Amino acid sequence: MAMINNVRNTVLAIINKNNYGYLSPQDFNLYAQQAQMDLFEDYFYQYNQWINKENQRLSGSGYADIVKSLVEVIDSFSVESFLIGQTANQWSLPLDYYLINKIYHYPTLLGIGTTTSSNTNQLINTALLGQPSPPAFNTGATGFTVFPLTGSLVVNTDTLVESFVNSVVDATTLNLATNIFSVVLGAENYSIFDASTIAEVERVSQNKLFYLTSSTLTAPSTLFPAYVLSGNTITVYPTTIQAAGAVKTQYVRYPKVPKWTYVNVNIGEPVFNSSAVDYQDFELPLSDEPGLVAKICQYVGIEIREPAVSQFGQNEEVQDNQIQV
């Protein structure tokens, strides 16, 4: 059963017991979003607290299990994505990013182009036929056949979806591990990189960047790049890093906004509808259900702690059983 429906039912039962009136689906969804964010951010707070205890040698038995469980939850929100270039060496971070773990750069660009037609799990560019390959390929050679592309990274720079080259069919066609180009449309842009070379981009402050770039010995390079964060934008150095699909991030995303969806009935309460297009359950572990109930009740104006939520649920179950008997 959907956790969000369980949470709402428990909250409504507590509200009714305390005579707090009606909680609309719209208000519940607003409270649900805030409650989830509070518990989500608390995982990071708890993790830092336990790490600090470990550093101070204050952690006792069970420390490893606690930290492991915290990390497992945080990791469930960890994703990777290629970044969208803005202008020159500036890149936009994903809209749902909460925390950046790492920024990567693929320094060896093998080629760029636009597909001329499409087929499942293939990259097709007939414009290469009879023409020299891009400079990054073997200069003077023709098409894909002369370059050892197997295993190379292919990025659809329109959708930022990636795949790898399985084999070279001929001068115009590559077999890919997964399908990343539309079978219908064609005319999609791509970049091909050497997947064996990847460099982590170091985050630096604007002040440190000034000192780094003051000397050719310490200046960022394609193998040892650096970036400065400003809002939802990163600026990557050296400024020559501009190829579409060249920069990738591993980050922790925000949890998706929960939404209890329903259908209206002529008489009575709205009925839960999990098949609605915009339905979204909580993304936190099931063990957080009492915490979500307690948080939402607090927003409504009812002070109740997590143990009391569990006790309330047990009491309600006992009463229901007695009624059935």
**CATH number of 186's domain:** 2.40.30
Same domain, 90 and 214: yes
Same domain, 38 and 92: no
SS3 268: coil
Among candidate residues 160, 164, 240, the one with its CA nearest the CA of residue 196: 164
Among candidate residues 16, 32, 8, the one with its CA nearest the CA of residue 283: 32
Residue 167, strand partner residues: 175
Amino acid identity, position 217 = L
CB atoms within 10 A of CB 62: 8
SS3 242: coil
Report if residue 320 sits inside a domain: no
Same domain, 178 and 116: yes
Same domain, 170 and 236: no
Report if residue 59 sits inside a domain: no
Question: What contacts 177, CB < 8 A, 6 or more positions away?
Answer: 121, 163, 164, 165, 166
Domain enclosing residue 169, as ranges: 109-193
Chain-centroid distance, C-alpha 191 = 22
Report if residue 281 sits inside a domain: yes
In whole angstroms, give the CA distance from residue 101 to residue 133. 36
Q: Give residue 251's pLDDT.
A: 97
Same domain, 189 and 205: no
Report if residue 210 sits inside a domain: yes
- The pair of structure tokens assigned to 158 is 């329109």
Same domain, 177 and 127: yes
The dihedrals phi and psi of 263, each to the nearest 5 degrees, come to -120, 145
Mean pLDDT, consecutive 10-residue segments, the chain of 325 residues? 92 84 90 96 90 66 73 94 91 95 93 87 80 43 66 93 91 91 80 93 93 89 94 94 94 97 81 95 95 90 70 57 47
Same domain, 183 and 205: no
Report if residue 137 sits inside a domain: yes
Give all strands of the β-sheet with 161-170 in edge-to-edge order: 109-114, 189-193, 153-156, 161-170, 173-176, 122-124
Same domain, 85 and 212: yes
In whole angstroms, give the CA distance from residue 200 to residue 184. 36
Report if residue 235 sits inside a domain: yes
Same domain, 266 and 296: yes
Same domain, 85 and 227: yes
How many domains is the chain built from?
3
In whole angstroms, give the CA distance from residue 171 to residue 319. 75
Q: Give residue 133's pLDDT.
A: 45
In whole angstroms, give the CA distance from residue 290 to residue 309. 6
Q: Give residue 138's pLDDT.
A: 40
| pTM (2 d.p.) | 0.82
Report if residue 315 sits inside a domain: no
Q: What is the DSSP secondary-structure string of 153-177? A: EEEETTTTEEEEEEEEEETTEEEES
Same domain, 115 and 232: no
Same domain, 44 and 189: no
Report if residue 261 sits inside a domain: yes
DSSP 214: T
Q: Does residue 105 contact residue 247 with C-beta atoms inside 8 Å?
A: yes
